[in-house]
Amino acid sequence: MREVNPLVVPIEENSGLLEKIDKDALKIIKRLKKHSYKAYLVGGCVRDLLLGKNPKDFDVVTNAWPKKIRQLFSNSRLIGRRFQLVHVFFGKKIIEVSTFRQEDKSPPEIAKDGSVRKYENKYGNEKTDAFRRDLTINALFMDPFEKKIIDYTGGYYDLMNKKIRVIGNPLTRFSEDPVRVLRTLRHTFRTSFTLLPETVEGIRLCKHLIHDVSPVRLFDELRKDISYGFYDKFAYFLHQHGLLEILFPYLRKATSLESVNYEILSRVSEVDLNKHPHLAVALLWFAFLQNKRGIELPQIPVIHEELCELFGICRPPKGVLMKAGFLLSIFKKTLKSFRKKQPLILKISDDTFYCLTKLVEIVYPEMLNFAHESGRYHSGKDWKSEVKSKATNRP
């Protein structure tokens, strides 16, 4: 790699920026420095701090190797097989600490779970670590103790000028890993920055390569977008760049994009995707395919078939699809009972009951109100006992 002198930008004392840094992240950096290692904040947290936002997460990068980091922090554990990271725990909070890396030019291997495995991951230095990242605005380092920003890729001025720039040639970078197309659009949408013309052209020419990415890996990227919120607006943004139809090819033959229920999409982010990914899948089915039909649900086999076809190349694991189909079948039974105003006995777990009530609340709130008024929708076992009691005592 050619010699590059980084831009060093001092952090002003009265900027208020340092006060927003997580105290535990500072403890990690301080301890690493105490043992003569380099350590910086890196990535999205630096970007958000410079934009005046409060970062959701703080990541630390260092030249200490993972096993050494693990030795320095008893409240930590190693994760990852082929390239190890360290998670340092502070109660429920986790701060990720990684070692400087360099770009791995070997082709990746896709595991059965959709994860990407590279056999020749190599440690590097701060310069190689900066240039291996996707976007210049995510390649900035911050030293909170020396009060400076370190920029190898031009990300600082891109941030000040509100530009999204891919590190390296966009066509090459997108071809190496097509998921970068989706990530680039995600950051463009979140920051409201401007895509450079060469990046727009790279997206146009390389977006079809997303078909070659593992469906499970794509679904994992989709989870990140949903958890951020405003998925309704982001979905429309993907449509403008021709990505929504690629991710959800069934939309082209099932319905027009103008008929997508963006109101339901806007609430998908309320779902905890770690606990209830099947609920999010069920809501996406409603948002994308059910709007033209009204509230008339098709037969259960049709629902299962549409779930599989909807998530063509960003398909969730089979178990998630099956649970989403089961949840929609229960919703169909509940809707039928509501219309006939008949009590319904469902032998379902408390977790399934929660997902059902959340689905009803978002899709058909009138049914939830009726159920509450009729005394049939209390929580968990109490609700099921009451319904069973009412059914038993009917004349």
Other CB atoms within 10 A of residue 168 CB: 14
Q: What domains are defined for the chain?
A: 1-161 (3.30.460.10), 162-213 (no CATH), 225-392 (no CATH)
Catalytic residue among 22, 48, 134, 151: 134
Look-up: residue for tokens 């990541």?
59
Any catalytic annotation for residue 57?
A: yes
> Residues 106-124: pLDDT tens digits?
555 555 544 455 544 578 9
Task: Give yes or no for a contact between 99 and 108, defined as CB atoms under 8 angstroms apart.
Answer: no
Check if 272 is active-site: no
- Which residue among 59, 158, 225, 232 is the active-site one? 59
Chain segment 248-262, per-residue pLDDT in tens: 776 655 445 566 777
SS3 98: strand
Q: Grade residue 97 by pLDDT with cuts at 50, 70 and 90.
A: very high
pLDDT of residue 388: 43
178-187, 262-271, 321-330 — which is least confidently predicted? 262-271
Give the model's pLDDT for residue 2.
Answer: 58
Would you tell me the crossing angle of helices 365-373 and 350-363 to the nearest 10 degrees?
120
Q: What is the mean pLDDT of residues 293-318?
A: 76
Res 284: pLDDT: 85
For residues 359 and 23, what is the distance between their CA atoms, to the nearest angstrom?
39
User: pTM for the complete prediction?
Assistant: 0.75
225 near 194, Cβ under 8 Å? no
| pLDDT tens-digit readout, 274-289 | 889 899 889 888 887 7
Name residue, tokens 């969730």: 316
- DSSP type of residue 38: -
> What's the Rg (C-alpha) of the chain?
24
Please report, for residues 83, 100, 101, 144, 288, the alpha-carbon distance to residue 66 in angstroms, rounded to integers and kept in the order given: 9, 10, 12, 22, 44
Per-residue pLDDT band at 391 (split at 50, 70, 90): very low
Residue 30 has pLDDT above 90, yes or no: yes
Q: Counting beta carbons within 10 angstroms of the beta carbon of residue 324, is it exposed (0 to 12), middle (13 to 18) or buried (19 or more)?
A: buried
Which residue among 24, 57, 104, 143 is the active-site one? 57
Residues 6 or more apart in contact with residue 174 via CB below 8 angstroms: 166, 180, 181, 202, 203, 205, 206, 209
More confident residue, 343 or 36: 36
Please indicate whether residue 59 is annotated as part of the active site: yes
